[in-house]
Structures are given as C-alpha cells and as structure tokens.
Amino acid sequence: MAGKSGRTLAAVPERSLKKMLVSWEGMLFLLFIAVNIFCKCISPVYTFTNVLREMPKYLTEIFLLFPMAYILLMGEIDISVGSIVCLSATMSCIVSNAGMPFPIVLLAGLMTGTVCGMVNGLLTVKFRELPTMIITLGTQIIFRGIAEIVLGSGGTISLTNMDGFRKIAGKIGPFPYLFFLVILCAVIFTVIADKKVFGRRLYAIGSNERTAFYSGIKVNRMLFTSYTVLGLLAGLSAIFLTSATYGANTTTGKGFEMDAIAMAVFGGISTAGGKGKLLGGVISAFVIICLRVGLGQINMNPQVILIILGALLILAVLLPNITQHINQKRKKASKA
C-alpha cells in the first residue's frame, strides 16, 4: 500500500488495513472475538444455537440503537424510548384483545410509537432552546403515565389471542425472524449514515449546528425525522417484545433507553455529537449481548454483570481520551 509512488503513507491513512484495525470499530471487532472465545471457555453451553435462542430479548433493544445513534450524532438525546415501547406494547395488546386482525394490531403498535416520536420531534423543534434531555425526560414520564392509566389498577394486560404474535416470534433454522430484521435495519441505517447526504448532514449538525444551518441544512426537519423514526422503531421493538411476553405491563421497556445509549457510546458514538460510526454501535451491541449471555450461563449474579458492563462503558469513554492525551504528550516531547 505504502509502496505507491508519489504518495506518502500519511496521505492514505484511512485506507490502510492497519488503520482499520486500530480504529475503534476494529478494536471492538477484536473485542467481539475475544468475548466469544472467553465465553466459550467459561461456559460449556455457550453454543451457536443457544446464543441465538437467548438473543431475541436483547435484539429488541438493538432496533432503538440505530435511530438513537442518529440523534446522538446530532448532539441530542432521547431518554423517552423505553416509555414509548411500553405505550406501544400496551396499545397493540389492547387492539389485539379487541379482536382486531393482526395487521391492524401491528399498525396500532407502530403508529403509537410513531406518534410519540413525532411529539418528541415537535417539542424539540419548537423549543430549540430547551435541552432534549429535559424534553424527553418529560415525555418519558408522560408516555409511561398514559400507559399506566390505560393499563388501569392491575397494571398489566395479557393477550387473549397470541396467534399473530406467535408467528412473528418464529425462526428460520436457528435464526429468529427478528435477527434478520435487525441486520436489515443495521445495513440500511449504516449505509444512510456513511454514504448518503442525510448521513453527512447528521455529522454536520453534530459538529456545528449553526454552521450546518447557515449552509442550508434543514436542521429542524432532520431532528423531526430522526425522532419520528426512533418512535417508529420503538413501536417495532414493542411488537417483538410483546411476542415474547404475550402482554404488557407498567415495567415493559424500562431501561431500554439507557441500554440503547450505552450500546451507542460503547460503540464510539459521542453524546456530544458529530463523532462515531454506526458500525461501531452494531458491533458493540453484539459484544454486550454475547457477554451477557455467556456470563448469564455460568449463573453469575446479574448485578455483578451490570457492574462489569458499567465498568466497560466508562473504560470505553475514557480510553480515547487517554490515548489522545498520551499522543499529545508524545508530540510535545518529540518537538522538544
């Protein structure tokens, strides 16, 4: 690669294999391999079929990762998605129990999510001076509050007809349908972020919103679209979650927002916006899933697993800062 005449190594950095492997995504990929080997060593039942069978619960959360990553790339955040999942699951259960055909049930779940997303988008755009953390904290409480009111005093609803939901929980070989849908979403969202104008604009807004605005990017439209898409995918997530629990209750989807944000941040997507790649988020999601499955199989206390994941997350955020610091010191030293 470096041998091409007239071009120094520095001129082609982003195309070299070495750069690829020392990039955050490359490191994550190596970590993914390491985690799999580690889990295989500690757990005799860490097999391909078992991992895939235990995966659906976690896969439902990955839907949220993609649009969440878009929002984080723009320097914003949405902590209401868990509540949107809860409300969407509740609504689809109610529609299903009212005897509606399954396509209508699906539509109800997706529409509820989309409408919630639009509310978030609208509030974000109309009150641009308010931090989205605060806006979505508000809607987080509101959406779950509505779900709790709809659910009534029992706080839970169970499906009376599970046929449709049983079908979507089906599998092709060992692969649940959900797996293919997540991969499809991963490809679409990654290609849009990396290759399309929409993606460029996301990074532009996250890097400097004002400059982006003056260069003609419709910031508000970008925000509104992203929040709406997040709502839609939260609806999708809710439907698959319902297919696993045959119902909904007041704790449905609790903590999903933080899991999605954690996957993104671990994947190298900065909450300050403009930095990181979706590919990193996707790999990190699978690193987290494999680790949780493996440690769960050796009956490790789940609280300890959470502590390990928390520590990994902090490390993931610290590491780039530390390496940057060291590099700067080294540069200074070489200058002197």
Note the residues at the interface with another protein (CB under 8 A): 14-15, 17, 20, 25-26, 29, 32-33, 36-37, 39-40, 44-51, 53-54, 57, 153-156, 158-159, 169, 241, 243-247, 249-252, 254-255, 279, 283, 286, 292-293, 296-297, 299, 301-303, 305-306
CB 64 within 8 A of CB 240: no
Of the two residues 158 and 215, which places its CB atom closer to another protein in the complex?
158
Q: Which residue has the tokens 């990654």?
A: 190
Q: State the minimum distance, in angstroms, from the CB of residue 143 to another protein.
A: 17
**C-alpha to C-alpha distance for 300 and 190, rounded to whole angstroms:** 34
Q: State the minimum distance, in angstroms, from the CB of residue 121 to another protein.
A: 27
Of the two residues 36 and 208, which places its CB atom closer to another protein in the complex?
36
Q: What is the CA radius of gyration of the chain?
A: 21
Q: State the minimum distance, in angstroms, from the CB of residue 177 to another protein.
A: 15
Q: State the minimum distance, in angstroms, from the CB of residue 195 to another protein.
A: 10
Of the two residues 207 and 245, which places its CB atom closer to another protein in the complex?
245
Of the two residues 45 and 133, which places its CB atom closer to another protein in the complex?
45
Q: State the minimum distance, in angstroms, from the CB of residue 42 to another protein.
A: 12
**C-alpha to C-alpha distance for 285 and 61, rounded to whole angstroms:** 9
Q: State the minimum distance, in angstroms, from the CB of residue 320 to another protein.
A: 20
Of the two residues 211 and 251, which places its CB atom closer to another protein in the complex?
251
Of the two residues 125 and 150, which places its CB atom closer to another protein in the complex?
150
Q: Closest Cα to residue 273, out of 112, 77, 61? A: 77
How do beta strands 156-158 and 171-172 pair?
unpaired
Q: State the minimum distance, in angstroms, from the CB of residue 107 to another protein.
A: 22
Q: What token pair was written down for 177?
A: 């349908």
Q: Three-state SS string across the chain, please? A: CCCCCCCCHHHCHHHCHHHHHHCHHHHHHHHHHHHHHHHHHHCCCCCHHHHHHHCHHHHHHHHHHHHHHHHHHCCCCCCCHHHHHHHHHHHHHHHHHCCCCHHHHHHHHHHHHHHHHHHHHHHHHHCCCCCHHHHHHHHHHHHHHHHHHHHCCCCEEECCCCHHHHHHCCEECCEEHHHHHHHHHHHHHHHHHHHCHHHHHHHHHHHCHHHHHHCCCCHHHHHHHHHHHHHHHHHHHHHHHHHHHCEEECCCCCCHHHHHHHHHHHCCCCCCCCCCCHHHHHHHHHHHHHHHHHHHHCCCCHHHHHHHHHHHHHHHHHHHHHHHHHHHHHHHHHHC
Of the two residues 122 and 183, which places its CB atom closer to another protein in the complex?
183
Q: State the minimum distance, in angstroms, from the CB of residue 77 to another protein.
A: 22
Of the two residues 40 and 275, which places its CB atom closer to another protein in the complex?
40
Of the two residues 124 and 242, which places its CB atom closer to another protein in the complex?
242
Q: State the minimum distance, in angstroms, from the CB of residue 259 to another protein.
A: 11
